């Protein structure tokens, strides 16, 4: 696969939540190439999370087509999810969750390890590398439930990186993070995109996006209302302008 090939191809897709009277996504068409850095903005309820769930093959597609890494997500959900890392919005662990940080990050390897093999040196190396990339290797033996929201978010990002994903879907990853962590993670995401990982980031933290041009996609009412390359400093204005938010 070359850099010019689309890794995410969405054609006139409608996706509906179970029991909803109308599809949430209303005819989305979007083609994303390998190594692109896409920032998805738009008001609450616009369909940003639904778009990520659609790309990850988690929702019924009632019309249209969604292909990820050459697989149709409709029939091939498993190979798609093997290649996609997905950081959920506002996920937090119960304080009594019986796993350490190291164990949670190792879970990111299970798709590669398979059910009947024990983690080997390669898996431990991937876990260590991911923790180091996020600057949290000192937390490896801590129980996950006892960490702050921001620390848990970093652990989940490390878990996703441990899988060496081709695509990273990040749903408001900065919401619990301090300014230093945001900057560090922005640098990390830019680097990963430079290495060919495709990054699709839903964020409201427009002011501290990576220091590189990004593709801005703005959604409203389940539709894409704007899709264009933008310099980092102007992303906030582009998103505000397109979604009619005057903050
Ligand atoms: N599980 C669900 N069941 C039914 N409707 C949902 C569900 N999750 C979200 N929605 C609806 O889909 C729309 C888009 O939601 P969402 O994608 O979460 O928006 P955003 O992430 O842009 O804030 C909203 O109208 C919301 O009420
Ligand atoms: Mg959302």
What pLDDT shows up at residue 206? 65
Q: How confident is the model at residue 247 (pLDDT cuts 50, 70, 90)?
A: very low
Tens digits of residue pLDDT in 2-37: 556 799 999 999 999 988 889 999 999 999 999 999
Q: What is the pTM of this model?
A: 0.92
**Cα 201 to ligand 2 centroid, rounded to whole Å:** 11
Tens digits of residue pLDDT in 162-203: 999 999 999 999 888 888 999 899 999 999 999 999 999 998
Ligand 1 site, residue 17, Cβ cutoff 6 A: yes
Residue nearest to atom 20 of ligand 1 (CA): 45
Mean pLDDT of 95-117: 86
What pLDDT shows up at residue 116? 65
Rg, C-alpha atoms of the chain:
18
Per-residue tokens: 119: 């983690």
Higher pLDDT, residue 207 or 221: 221
**Cα 199 to ligand 1 centroid, rounded to whole Å:** 22
Contact by Cβ (8 Å): 235, 215: no
Task: Domain ranges for the chain, please list them.
Answer: 6-243
DSSP 46-98: SSHHHHHHHHTT-S-EEEEEEEETTEETTT-HHHHHHHEEEE-TT----TT--
Distance, in Å, from the CA atom of 196 to the CA atom of 203, rounded to the nearest integer, reads 21
Widest CA span in the chain: 54
Q: Quick check: helix, strand or coil at residue 20?
A: coil
Residue nearest to atom 4 of ligand 1 (CA): 17
- Domain covering 6-243, topology: Rossmann fold (3.40.50)
């Amino acid at each position: 696969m070359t850099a010019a090939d689309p890794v995410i191809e969405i054609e006139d897709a409608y996706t509906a939540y179970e029991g909803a009277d109308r599809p949430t996504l209303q005819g989305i068409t979007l083609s994303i190439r390998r190594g692109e850095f896409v920032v998805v903005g738009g008001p609450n309820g616009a369909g940003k999370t639904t778009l990520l769930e659609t790309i990850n093959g988690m929702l019924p597609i009632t019309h249209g087509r969604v292909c990820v890494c050459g697989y149709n997500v409709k029939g091939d959900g498993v190979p798609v999810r093997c290649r996609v890392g997905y950081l959920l919005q506002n996920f937090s662990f119960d304080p009594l969750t019986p796993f350490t940080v190291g164990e949670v990050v190792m879970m990111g390897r299970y798709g590669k390890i398979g059910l009947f093999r024990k983690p080997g040196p390669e898996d431990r190396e991937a876990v260590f590398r991911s923790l180091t990339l996020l600057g949290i290797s000192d937390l490896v033996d801590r129980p996950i439930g006892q960490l702050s929201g921001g620390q848990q978010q970093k652990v989940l990002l490390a878990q996703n990186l441990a899988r060496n994903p081709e695509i990273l879907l990040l749903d408001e990853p900065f919401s619990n993070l301090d300014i230093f962590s945001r900057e560090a993670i922005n640098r990390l995401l830019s680097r990963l995109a430079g290495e060919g990982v495709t990054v699709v980031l839903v964020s409201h933290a427009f002011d501290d996006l990576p220091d590189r041009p990004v593709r801005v996609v703005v959604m409203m009412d389940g539709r894409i209302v704007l899709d264009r390359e933008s310099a980092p400093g102007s992303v906030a204005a582009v998103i505000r302008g397109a979604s009619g938010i005057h903050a």
